[in-house]
Amino acid sequence: MSGAVRTGVRRTGRRRLLGVLALAAILLVPAQIPSATAATGAGTAAVPPPPAKSVVTWAASADRMGEAAGDRSYRLIVRTSVGGTGLRVRVSNAFGDRPLVIGSAYAGLRESGARLRPGSNKKLRFDGSASVTLAPGEIRYSDPLPGRVAAMSDLALSLYVRDAGGPATGHGMALATSYATSGDHAARERDEAYTERLGSWFYLDAVTVDPDGGAGAVVTLGDSITDGWQSTTDKNLRWPDFLARRLHASAGSTVKGVANAGISGNQVLADGAAQSALKRLDRDVLSLPGVRTVFLFEGVNDIKAHTGVTAASLTAGYREIIDRSHAAGLCVVGATVMPFKGWSEWDPPGEAVRAEVNEWIRTSGEVDAVVDFDKVVRSPYDAERIMPTFDNGDHLHPNDKGMQAMADSVALKSLECDRDASLSR
């Protein structure tokens, strides 16, 4: 399935974004694009500047979870993409409405289950302190740990939450088993205390390292397909995981970090399943350290929601994401929206919007490169359906084989885009 990527040609004259947004508002009032600067409330606090040399090696976009509880330890299992020294974690109270007190935090290497490799569990500090209090909405980086962490390692990040209440912050659909228990067991390397299994991550939204050789990262901004829904749990078979393995094995690639910014049910334009992509872009994508490229793959939830979203309003939302990413010095790879005929919300008007949106992605020249996921997964017998070999059965989400085909179709060179060169075209 290789060769599904082509380099986009940037137009020398871009239509003014405000004009596009105004047109979208005239065409369809319910699909007006929310202003990123006007966003208020939980989840909109400023993110601290990233450490100077760090590159994100793992991430999971934060969302509002259920009621928080204190005096609990979480052992959160995550997989690195790029290796390096100076590991830091980013802890988040983005959706909290009261202070969050992390009494202790540790980082170790997972041996199996909740058990750690003996001698690997190291205490994390925050500005030299073993504990940290996060105000409502606050996000903090830990101090760097000495030593090296290898790429493709299973890390166990253990957080003892001493005091918490109100909405918890986390990532609901981890598709990876983590663990929890009452009391402070963060320093423990054995697993006896961690009797509760979790399918979510709590209070942790990124891990960074200082990589060798100036490696950079790509962030995959998406919905449930990027989040990995219907891929096999605990096997790291989301399409960004397959991409991370390809980048790790590629001697010629300088992009090695992969940060997954997918949230199940997410939309470009509207809040609902988490904040819209437009609202969460700064926190979940642009603030992550060492990012060179944004991989934009959203839109199917906007289309199938039956809220009257048009191709004009959705592509206007894409333009805002592209413009803000470009303003941050990042390249943007755009992926076409995949077919979903057979899903309960499919209808011919929505299919017409999908076709128009995909034509815009392929031909507008707004993005720096295009990945045609639509062509990769669609059936040769019905282009409005996912190929049965790749369909998990709901006709929207690919299975493990489909996830791999998606990742295999990405030309790794497209992630190495030189933004300065793009601007000169």
pLDDT digits (tens, 9 = 90+) for 3-37: 333 333 333 333 333 333 333 332 232 333 343 33
Is 353 a residue whose pLDDT tops 60? yes
Q: Quick check: 311 and 353 in contact, CB under 8 A?
A: yes
Q: Which residues of 243-254 are buried (b: 16+ CB within 10 A; e: fewer)?
A: bbbbbbeeeebe
Region 160-172: what's the mean pLDDT? 98
State the pLDDT at residue 20.
32
Query: Which residues lie closer than 8 Å to 216 by C-beta, 6 or more apart?
Result: 55, 254, 255, 256, 257, 290, 291, 292, 293
Q: Of the given ranges (85-94, 187-196, 263-272, 413-422), which has the lowest mean pLDDT?
A: 413-422
Q: What pLDDT band is residue 212 in, cutting at 50, 70 and 90?
A: confident
Q: In which band, very low, low, confident or very high, does the pLDDT at 417 lie, cut at 50, 70 and 90?
A: confident
Mean per-residue pLDDT, 413-425: 66
- Across all residues in the chain, what is the average pLDDT? 90
Residue 10 amino acid letter = R
Q: Of 196, 104, 97, which is closest to residue 142 (Cα–Cα)?
A: 104
Average pLDDT over residues 262-270: 98
Are 371 and 412 in contact by the 8 Å Cβ rule? The answer is no
Which pair of tokens denotes residue 277? 């992509």
The predicted structure's pLDDT at residue 135: 97
8 Å CB contact between 171 and 76: no
pLDDT of amino acid 26: 27
Give per-residue pLDDT as tens, 32-83: 334 333 333 466 666 888 788 999 999 999 999 999 999 999 999 999 999 9
CA atoms of 114 and 104, how far apart (whole Å) = 17
Q: Rounded to an integer, what distance in angstroms lies between the CA atom of residue 204 and that of residue 158? A: 10
The whole-angstrom separation of Cα 96 and Cα 68 is 9
Q: What is the pLDDT of residues 283-322, one digit of tens each?
A: 999 999 999 999 999 999 999 999 999 999 999 999 999 9
Q: What pLDDT score was predicted for residue 420?
A: 58
The identity of residue 366, as a single letter, is E
